[in-house]
Amino acid sequence: MRHEAARDRTRTRVPRRGLVERKLRLGSGLLIAAYVVLHLANHALGLISIEAMERAREWMQAVWGTPVMLFLLYGSLVVHFGLALSVLYRRSTLRMPAWEAAQIVLGLLVVPLIAGHATGTRGSRELLGIDVDYPLVLGAIWTDDFHLARQTVLLLVVWLHVVVGLHFWLRLRSWYARALPYLYAAALLLPVLSLLGFAESGLEIRRLILEEGAAETIFAEVKAVDPAARELVASLDARIVLFFFLALGTTLIARWRRLRSQARGRRYRLHHANGRALEVPVGCSILEAVRRAGIPHASICGGRGRCTTCRVRIGRGLEALPEPSVLEGQALARIGADPSVRLACQTRPVGDLSVSPLIPAKASPAVVHQPGGVSGREQEVVVMFIDLRDSTRFGEGRLPYDVVFILNQFFSEMWAALEATGGHYAQFSGDGLMALYGLESGVTAGSRQALRGAAEMARRLSNLNARLEGELAQPLRVGIGIHCGDAIVGTMGPPNSPNLSAVGDNVNVAARLESESKSLGCSLVVSTALAGSAGVDFSAHPLHEAELRGRGESVPVYAIDDPHELPEIDVFK
Same domain membership, residue 553 and residue 568? yes
Give me the residues of the chain with pLDDT under 70, please: 1-18, 212-213, 363-376, 391-399, 491-498, 550, 552, 567-573
pLDDT of 367 reads: 60
pLDDT of 2 reads: 39
Same domain membership, residue 393 and residue 364? no
Same domain membership, residue 69 and residue 109? yes
Same domain membership, residue 537 and residue 407? yes
pLDDT of 149 reads: 93
The rounded distance, in Å, linking the Cα atoms of 538 and 559 is 9
Q: Is 405 exposed, middle or buried (0-12, 13-18, 19+ CB in 10 A)?
A: middle
The rounded distance, in Å, linking the Cα atoms of 384 and 525 is 10
Where does a domain end: 369, 391, 421?
369
Same domain membership, residue 348 and residue 456? no
pLDDT of 457 reads: 93
CA neighbor of 248 nearest in space, from 81, 451, 74, 28: 81
Judge whether 142 lies within some domain. Answer: yes
Report pTM: 0.59
Same domain membership, residue 394 and residue 365? no
By the 8 A CB rule, do 14 and 327 touch? no
Per DSSP, the residues of 133-189 read: -HHHHHHHHHT-HHHHHHHHHHHHHHHHHHHHHHHHHHTTSTTHHHHHHHHHHHHHH
pLDDT of 570 reads: 46
Look up the domain containing 232 and give its range.
Answer: 17-259
Judge whether 491 lies within some domain. Answer: yes
Judge whether 232 lies within some domain. Answer: yes
Same domain membership, residue 289 and residue 218? no
The rounded distance, in Å, linking the Cα atoms of 339 and 208 is 70
Judge whether 5 lies within some domain. Answer: no
